[in-house]
């Protein structure tokens, strides 16, 4: 039940609710816990509530770090494969 | 799916695996605990253990709220649901958890109790609103992630003036359980578990931030790397932990910076603080009774407290003696060490809570790991279903 997923906010509704799209599936969730949610934001959804907004810049940075560590690993693997 | 697929890239996972193998020193072993069931699930589902070198071991922690809920509280919920005036609303995962006397919420429902599965805490409020002649009880469980949604439901019920909505509160606290794992000595005859660092919770941390883990790094000398729930997140966190150990550092690092900020979600923290207070003590399955490890409603909200309205008095109840959930939740044993695993106990006929929730170690191992050829630290044979 702890599995939470990133979802795109597609529209705001009254009473702190919002419409989200999960890979095309539309759901209504509460966004009352996250300040200033706007359509176009990605939020982490857990049991019908948004818990946090995903920061697109930090997401890019994580991917860059992953690519860097991966490139290092790939280089090591290639070096080990060489006779 | 954006923010999901890119963190599941198989080629990158293999490169990260090579990077981990290159940085893990061959002359020593590493043992890290992933606290959260969400990580346990990801590790099993994506076969991450197979991508780690043999000297890096992952210990599955107790971070599954369904798994740590003691039987006595399930019994309470069943007793509440059996009251003719009560409609009990519960998250679906709890329906099949074994209770005392071979019971479960599912069986209580079959026997006529009015039990409804809800996706969101707000669904329970809607049911209360639509059924003013029923006493609607929301069976609230979960760590810091699920507590603010319960608080939102209470506020919504209050705003609507609902007098027939109450909460059966079972919310528990992550840092207390992490401390218990470090402080509890192994049982007689069990090998001590030497957790050298933690993969820190993803979504719990979106709420509580990074500060509550500082004690583990500073006081206990255990590095903590907060990680997202996707496989590459977990692998990167393991690499970061290995680096900390190799460099003799113990710090709180945040791999999941795309969702976790240092202070966490302050609005959610304020709301939780307003409505809940610490219980003196609460029983956790596998970890025993721990002081100040759980939350209850403050007196100001007693009118929303199911324990007050229905005078709930939890009776201690023993687990199935053959079930090893307790030892598994502490990291002492692996699912395959349980003699019921895969024979008597399967997700269809769970004997213990660890087999019920998809984040439970036994369920994850059954679904994704049971046919894996090697078991790194367990010598017990992997049993297959007969
Ligand atoms: S396999 Fe079943 S009985 Fe054994 S520890 Fe896991 S949940 Fe308990």
The whole-angstrom distance between B246's CA and the closest CA on chain A is 16
- Residue B379 pLDDT exceeds 60: no
**Do B157 and B93 have their domain in common?**
yes
- Residue B113 pLDDT exceeds 80: yes
**Is B377 inside a domain boundary?**
no
Phi, then psi, of B90 in degrees rounded to 5:
-140, 155
Of the pLDDT bands very low, low, confident and very high (cuts 50, 70, 90), residue B316 is confident
Whether chain B has a CB inside 8 Å of the CB on A58: the answer is yes
Among candidate residues B199, B213, B207, the one with its CA nearest the CA of residue B56: B199
**Is B191 inside a domain boundary?**
yes
pLDDT for the residue B311 = 95
Residue B226: in which H helix or E strand, if any?
A: strand B224-226
**Do B52 and B72 have their domain in common?**
no
**Is B29 inside a domain boundary?**
yes
pLDDT for the residue B377 = 43
Return d(Cα B233, Cα A62) in angstroms, integer. 9
**Is B32 inside a domain boundary?**
yes
- Residue B193 pLDDT exceeds 80: no
Of A83 and A5, which is predicted with more confidence? A5
Return d(Cα B291, Cα B319) in angstroms, integer. 21
Return d(Cα A14, Cα A32) in angstroms, integer. 10
Nearest chain A residue to B37, by CA: A2
Which residue among B240, B275, B309 closes a domain? B309
pLDDT for the residue B385 = 37
Whether chain A has a CB inside 8 Å of the CB on B250: the answer is no
Task: Answer for the pair B106, B90: CB distance below 8 angstroms, yes or no.
Answer: no
Report the mean per-residue pLDDT for chain B: 90
**Do B145 and B50 have their domain in common?**
no
Task: Answer for the pair B304, B154: CB distance below 8 angstroms, yes or no.
Answer: yes
Interface A-B, measured as beta-carbon pairs within 8 A, has a size of 159
Phi, then psi, of B12 in degrees rounded to 5:
-65, -35
Beta-carbon separation of A70 and B259 below 8 A = no
**Do B234 and B355 have their domain in common?**
no
Residue B309: in which H helix or E strand, if any?
A: helix B306-309
Of the pLDDT bands very low, low, confident and very high (cuts 50, 70, 90), residue B191 is low
Q: What is the DSSP letter of B341?
A: B
Which residue among B254, B283, B317 closes a domain? B254
Of the pLDDT bands very low, low, confident and very high (cuts 50, 70, 90), residue A24 is confident
Q: What is the DSSP letter of B318?
A: P
- Mean pLDDT calculated for residue range B327-341: 85
How many domains would you assign to chain B? 3
Structure tokens at B261: 């900020």
**Is B274 inside a domain boundary?**
yes
pLDDT for the residue A25 = 86
Alpha carbons within 13 A on the beta-carbon side of B227: 33
**Is B37 inside a domain boundary?**
yes
ipTM over 0.85: yes
Whether chain B has a CB inside 8 Å of the CB on A34: the answer is yes
* Interface mutation target, options B18, B34, B209, B268, chain A, most CBs of A under 10 Å: B18
**Do B163 and B72 have their domain in common?**
yes
Q: Which residues pair with B171 in a beta bridge?
A: B142
Whether chain B has a CB inside 8 Å of the CB on A38: the answer is no
Return d(Cα B104, Cα A4) in angstroms, integer. 26
**Do B165 and B179 have their domain in common?**
no
pLDDT for the residue B374 = 44
How far from each other are the two terminal CA atoms of chain B, in whole angstroms? Answer: 38
pLDDT for the residue B373 = 43
Question: The domain spanning residue B148 has which CATH number?
Answer: 3.40.50.11740
**Is B371 inside a domain boundary?**
no
- Mean pLDDT calculated for residue range B87-93: 95
Beta-carbon separation of A44 and B152 below 8 A = no
Q: Three-state SS for B276?
A: strand
Of B163 and B4, which is predicted with more confidence? B163
Question: The domain spanning residue A51 has which CATH number?
Answer: 2.30.30.140
- Residue B160 pLDDT exceeds 70: yes
Of the pLDDT bands very low, low, confident and very high (cuts 50, 70, 90), residue B62 is confident
Return d(Cα B291, Cα B55) in angstroms, integer. 35
**Do B108 and B239 have their domain in common?**
no
Return d(Cα B151, Cα B239) in angstroms, integer. 37
- Mean pLDDT calculated for residue range B26-42: 91
**Is B228 inside a domain boundary?**
yes
Selecting from A42, A49, A74 the residue whose C-beta is nearest the C-beta of B2 gives A42
Sort strands B197-200 and B224-226 into parallel, antiparallel or unpaired: parallel
- Domain membership of residue A21 as a residue range: 5-81
How many angstroms does the Cα of residue A47 sit away from the middle of ligand 1? 26
pLDDT for the residue B378 = 43
Picking from A6-20, A57-71, B22-36, B122-136, which range would have the lowest pLDDT averaged per residue?
A57-71
**Do B249 and B305 have their domain in common?**
no
**Do B278 and B289 have their domain in common?**
yes
Length reported for chain A: 83
How many domains would you assign to chain A? 1
Of the pLDDT bands very low, low, confident and very high (cuts 50, 70, 90), residue B190 is low
Structure tokens at B91: 């998250």
Helices (H) and strands (E) in chain A, counts: 1, 5
Beta-carbon separation of B265 and A77 below 8 A = no
Whether chain A has a CB inside 8 Å of the CB on B1: the answer is yes
Return d(Cα B354, Cα B97) in angstroms, integer. 9
- Domain membership of residue B340 as a residue range: 325-366
Picking from A14-28, B131-145, B202-216, B234-248, which range would have the lowest pLDDT averaged per residue?
A14-28
Task: Answer for the pair B217, B252: CB distance below 8 angstroms, yes or no.
Answer: yes
Distant-in-sequence, close-in-space partners of A15: CB < 8 Å, separation ≥ 6? none
pLDDT for the residue B19 = 92
Selecting from A47, A69, A71 the residue whose C-beta is nearest the C-beta of B91 gives A47
Among candidate residues B188, B152, B180, B212, the one with its CA nearest the CA of residue B284: B180
Q: What is the DSSP letter of B368?
A: I
Q: Given the CA of residue B339, which atom of ligand 1 is nearest to it?
A: 4
Return d(Cα A11, Cα A27) in angstroms, integer. 11
Return d(Cα B204, Cα A31) in angstroms, integer. 17
**Do B157 and B270 have their domain in common?**
yes
Question: The domain spanning residue B53 has which CATH number?
Answer: 3.40.50.11750
Beta-carbon separation of A34 and B271 below 8 A = no
Phi, then psi, of B132 in degrees rounded to 5:
-60, -20
DSSP string, B66-117: HHHS-HHHHHHHHHHHHSTTEEEEEEGGGTT---GGG--HHHHHHTT-EEEE
Task: Name the most confidently modeled range: B60-64, B178-182, B293-297.
Answer: B293-297
């Amino acid at each position: 039940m702890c599995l939470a997923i990133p979802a795109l906010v597609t529209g705001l509704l009254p009473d702190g609710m919002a419409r989200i799209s999960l890979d095309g599936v539309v759901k209504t969730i509460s966004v009352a816990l996250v300040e200033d949610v706007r359509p176009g934001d990605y939020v982490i959804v857990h049991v019908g509530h948004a818990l946090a907004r995903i920061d697109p810049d930090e997401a890019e940075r994580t991917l860059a770090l992953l690519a860097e560590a991966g490139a290092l690993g790939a280089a090591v693997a290639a070096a080990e494969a060489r006779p | 799916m954006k923010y999901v697929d890119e963190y599941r890239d198989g080629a990158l996972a293999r490169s990260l695996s090579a990077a981990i193998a290159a940085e893990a020193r061959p002359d020593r072993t590493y043992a890290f605990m992933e606290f959260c069931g969400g990580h346990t699930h990801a590790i099993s589902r994506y076969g991450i253990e197979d991508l780690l070198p043999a000297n890096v071991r992952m210990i599955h922690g107790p971070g599954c709220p369904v798994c740590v809920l003691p039987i006595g509280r399930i019994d309470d919920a069943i007793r509440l649901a059996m009251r003719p005036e009560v409609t009990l609303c519960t998250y679906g995962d709890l329906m099949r958890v074994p209770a005392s006397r071979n019971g479960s919420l599912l069986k209580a429902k079959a026997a006529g109790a009015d039990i409804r599965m809800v996706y969101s805490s707000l669904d329970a409020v809607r049911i209360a609103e639509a059924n003013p002649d029923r006493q609607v009880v929301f069976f609230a469980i979960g760590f810091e992630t699920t507590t603010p949604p319960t608080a939102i439901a209470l506020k919504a019920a209050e705003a609507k003036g609902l007098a027939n909505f109450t909460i059966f509160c079972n919310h528990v606290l992550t840092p207390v359980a992490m401390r218990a794992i470090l402080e509890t000595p192994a049982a007689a005859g069990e090998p001590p578990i030497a957790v050298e660092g933690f993969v820190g919770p993803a979504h719990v941390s979106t709420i509580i931030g990074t500060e509550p883990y500082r004690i583990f790094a500073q006081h206990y000398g255990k590095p903590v790397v907060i990680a997202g729930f996707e496989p590459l997140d977990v692998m990167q966190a393991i690499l970061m932990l290995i680096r900390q150990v190799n460099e003799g550092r113990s710090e709180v690092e945040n791999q999941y910076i795309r969702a976790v900020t240092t202070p966490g979600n302050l609005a959610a923290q304020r709301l939780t603080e307003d409505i809940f207070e610490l219980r003196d003590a609460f029983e956790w399955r596998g970890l025993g009774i721990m002081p100040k490890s759980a939350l209850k409603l403050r007196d100001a909200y007693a009118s929303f407290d199911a324990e007050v309205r229905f005078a709930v008095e939890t009776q201690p109840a023993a687990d199935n003696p053959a079930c090893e959930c307790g030892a598994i939740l502490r990291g002492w044993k692996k699912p395959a060490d349980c003699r019921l695993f895969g024979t008597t106990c399967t997700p269809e006929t769970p004997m213990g809570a660890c087999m019920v929730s998809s984040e439970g170690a036994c369920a994850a191992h059954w679904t994704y790991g049971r046919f894996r050829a090697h078991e790194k630290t367990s010598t017990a044979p992997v049993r297959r279903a007969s």
